[in-house]
């Protein structure tokens, strides 16, 4: 097989793995979109808008919520996709045993110390989620909760800057529209 064929085969294996893991989950918005649309959309922002070709980053984008939100373990990811991908996924995974407010605080604190690869995944994750929020918010979210998510995201993104011009510009336009500047 050519190296291009190996890369494609590995990426399809990864999309399939993420789809299996998220198969019973839906997004929280009223449309109940399949959860897998989110990790695929994050990977697509990275290829299409951020012009990222680092395959480990694309794998990590596809897998970024599997440990946080499904029964997937870091060992499983390492066995199937290698140590580099495992490392990036570990960096972008919140500790779900902590209360939500503490997880949110830690995202702000840890953002500047993240690797370049993890920062790329985090920027794309935030961009996808903020665009999603602009379209239709999760059921039960008040205007205040939506605004707080924008304000918190701004603080996380501030710690991720200097990583990718295209994504940071798109995020800044969203923050400006929301008066979070
Ligand atoms: N905007 C939006 N978000 C949804 C929807 N369905 C699920 N989510 C997920 O919910 C998370 C944001 O909701 P919160 O209530 O703030 O998060 P929490 O569960 O971690 O406390 C995001 O997690 P995450 O991807 O891990 O990112 P992060 O917010 O933890 O950085 C996002 O992917 C939806 O319909 N719209
Ligand atoms: Mn996510």
Rounded to two decimals, what is the model's pTM?
A: 0.97
- Which residues pair with residue 124 across a beta bridge? none
Kindly provide the ipTM of the predicted complex, given to two decimals.
0.96
Residue nearest to atom 12 of ligand 1 (CA): 129
Ligand 2 centroid vs 126 CA: distance in angstroms? 7
Catalytic, 68? Answer yes
Half-sphere exposure of 129 (CA within 13 A, CB side): 18
Question: What does the alpha-carbon distance between residue 145 and residue 148 come to, in Å, rounded to a whole number?
Answer: 5
Ligand 1 atom at minimal distance to the Cα of residue 149: 16
Residue nearest to atom 10 of ligand 1 (CA): 28
What CATH code is carried by the domain that includes residue 98?
A: 1.10.3210.10
> 10, 68, 78, 90: which one is catalytic?
68
* Per-residue pLDDT tens digits for 70-108: 999 999 999 999 999 999 999 999 999 999 999 999 999
Instruction: Give the count of domains, the chain.
Output: 1
Name the one residue in this structure whose structure tokens are 């009223």. 30
Instruction: Give residue 100's domain range.
Output: 3-178
């Amino acid at each position: 097989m050519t190296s291009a064929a190996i890369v494609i085969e590995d990426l399809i294996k990864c999309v399939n793995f993420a789809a299996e893991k998220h198969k019973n989950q839906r997004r929280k918005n009223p449309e109940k979109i399949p959860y897998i649309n989110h990790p695929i959309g994050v990977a697509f922002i990275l290829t299409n808008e951020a012009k990222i070709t680092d395959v480990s980053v694309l794998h990590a984008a596809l897998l970024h919520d599997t440990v946080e939100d499904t029964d997937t373990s870091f060992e499983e990811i390492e066995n199937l996709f290698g140590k580099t991908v495992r490392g990036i996924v570990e960096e972008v995974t919140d500790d779900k045993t902590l209360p939500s407010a503490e997880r949110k605080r830690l995202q702000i604190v840890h953002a500047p110390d993240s690797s370049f690869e993890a920062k790329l995944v985090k920027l794309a994750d935030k961009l996808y989620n903020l665009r999603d929020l602009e379209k239709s918010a999760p059921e039960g979210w008040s205007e205040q909760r939506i605004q707080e998510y924008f304000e918190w995201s701004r603080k996380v993104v501030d710690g991720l800057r200097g990583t990718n011009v295209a994504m940071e510009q798109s995020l800044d336009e969203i923050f400006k529209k929301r008066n979070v500047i």
